[in-house]
Amino acid sequence: MMKLHEYSWRHVALLPPVAAWFLVTHPYMEPHWVLVVGAALFVSGELLRVWATGHLRKDEVLTIGGPYRHMRNPMYLGTLLIVTGLFLAGGDHLLLAFFLAVFCLYYIPRKERREGRRLLRNFGMDYAKYLVAVNSLVPRLKPYEAAGAARFSFQQVLKNNEHQTALSLLIAVAMLMVKLIWPHPWLRLPPWLLAHL
């Protein structure tokens, strides 16, 4: 069982922006089909992240098993799906547009450069071949074939702290559900502010 001190500082640092997001989100104004699409994206993203972290052995070996056979960055794609789903279901269209711009134009290119250098330094030609053969976020249909791909391990999911991420996401979903189910005026934005979102 996870203890409080094991909850990483990165998740704690997210609390203020999540609280601000809770104030501006308004799922009760979205059509039901939008909520369903948002939920489907959210669940798909977290399942992809769990699948990926069950194979990820960071800095130990070049991870090429599971979803890494189809794309180089399944965890980033999972995060993209999760945040898109949450913002879509919450009616946060401006926040979603801002997130997509930052994610695609800044975050992913920066991560690709930094991690690419590290992986090339650690794994040399093995990573160079993998880099050429497998896309970053767009999955390839034919799996990448290479020896030494590790099997999925739930212990690895825990070692990579994905249970902390899942807990954070459950809290975010619970916050959305509170605003959706409990129509209390102080949980809703005033109409004059909603008109400008």
pLDDT tens-digit series, residues 146-158: 766 778 999 999 9
Mean pLDDT check: name the lowest of 20-24, 111-115, 122-126, 133-137: 20-24
Rounded to an integer, the average pLDDT of 71-93 is 93
* pLDDT over 70 (residue 190): no
The pLDDT assigned to 3 comes to: 46
pLDDT tens-digit series, residues 24-49: 777 767 788 888 899 999 999 999 99
**Any long-range contacts for 83-87 (C-beta under 8 Å, 24+ apart)?**
83/45, 84/38, 84/41, 84/45, 85/37, 85/38, 85/39, 85/40, 85/41, 85/42, 85/43, 85/44, 85/45, 86/38, 86/42, 86/172, 86/173, 86/176, 87/38
Greatest alpha-carbon span in the chain = 60
* pLDDT over 50 (residue 2): no
